[in-house]
A and B are shown apart, each in its own frame.
Chain A
Amino acid sequence: MERLVIRGLHVAVEGQEILKGVDLEIGRGEVHALMGPNGSGKSTLGYAIMGHPAYEVTSGTIELVAADGTRRDVLAMEPDERARAGIFLAFQRPMAIPGVRLADFLRHSVTNVRNPDRKEGEELMPMREFRAELKAKMAELSMDPDFARRYVNDGFSGGEMKRAEILQLAMLRPGFAILDETDSGLDADAVRLASESIAKIGGAEMGILIITHHEQLLEHNVPLRTHVMLGGRIVESGGPELAAELHKKGYERIRVAYPDAAAAERAMEDAAGLAGRAVPAGAGA
């Protein structure tokens, strides 16, 4: 099985180091949870894996390692190449693209991702075939088909944005999906629906990294491993029981157990002032 392998990853935003050596390995078919307090660097990891230009990898590696040992250097790829290589990021705050219909965008996207060698200007996936598939997927996710005619994330409610991200996940069927707080801003029912949807979409072919503060999203997606991030590093990993513990008791035990990481967390807060730090719009770190 193909694996996404991250080693010693250091990432800086506008000169400030956010990730200070992250190691993480996810195999296809595995579900991992990434938890941690605000500002610990969880979203930064997602952006760095996807290749956001404002997130500078200062050292470390991200590779896709095939079952036969063939390695692909993810860091050498543009974001679109990463998508075509099978990496997907569900955004915490996806961008609005006014005037562009979700269906049109998705048809283009699906065409490219399924035909990694497609050249610009070549034919898109046939409309009829695409529509049939989109309609079926939307039905599975209990979505109104009219939704696909709306402009991408333009005027969407928080819940609609998250559902649109899940729809894209379902259509693109990536090898590795990073879900960045797909549960944030949703009520309990919506979280349950999202959790069920993700479980339906995933499976033996998809490795999933779920970034979350809560354990509800994990209800139908029981993680093989739960990782705790603090001060830009993964300080502890465990089974599903770790997610439950963090959800119930918070991060105090972690802070006490890893004083260096807790100090790094405080330093990062002091350096930027958590609220005022100039991160790119929509890029909550």
Chain B
Amino acid sequence: MQNKDIKRLSLFLLFAPFALWIILLIILPHIGMVILSLKEKVAPRVYEYSFANYLEFLNEPIYWNTLLRTGSMSLLVTALALLIGFPIAYYIAKIAGPRSRGGLFLLCLIPLWVSDLIRAFGWILLLRETGVISNFLQWTGLVGAPVEFLYNDVAVIIGLTYTVILFMIVPLVSTLDGMDNSMIEAGYNLGGNGFTVLRRIIVPYAMPGIVAGCIVTFMLTAGSYLTPILLGGKNSSWFTEQIYNQFITRFNWEGGAAFGMLLLLFTSLVIWLGLKLSGQTLANTVAKS
């Protein structure tokens, strides 16, 4: 009996920090945001509940265009990160010798510990009109005058892919690492060619890692703020920038909260669809890595 009480008490004590964290910093703030987003200012200091903030979003094409643009560019970045990152992860996990494997993996992790700001700054120094690449092209004589590579969508996509690709590679390496090489050999022995083995054996095995990498990559891209603004210039029209403008520049907290909810709903919807289509769950993908 006493033993049972102790168990109960310790379970309660362990549950308390978890509950405080999740309730005070995640659940209540989000409820507060939903309530705020449903308020409409009808007179100074007088508010009414309505869907006005959401209707404004629908009536103003620039807002939902920005959200769609953010979503589609984030999907493009996610796909690019997967295409570029998968061969790298496969190389690290399966082809590199045991000695170079650890080193390559570490090399992959180094940019992870460098702030977004510094990475974007590095790209600015490379891409701008007076930057390294422009100078190099002039030096080789390929172009006659300085070229501006910054402040366009390509620069934003390069910068974003660069920023998030490590979050794709890390879960991929850890799933591929757990795969038995004999499975690949069996595929070849049964007469499969390289493409069949990749499609029928390697990709299905790596699916949890692929999905985990895609979810994290997509969320980070859609929620990113610095990279699109610094590399895309003033007109990058990224949705987080709209949220910032509503909150800080226009001091319209109700509108900003509605935009925040829309971003959250939109990204959750995309991830839910992705999980459904790939037959995975949040617990066996993101939670595992």
Q: Do A and B bind each other?
A: no
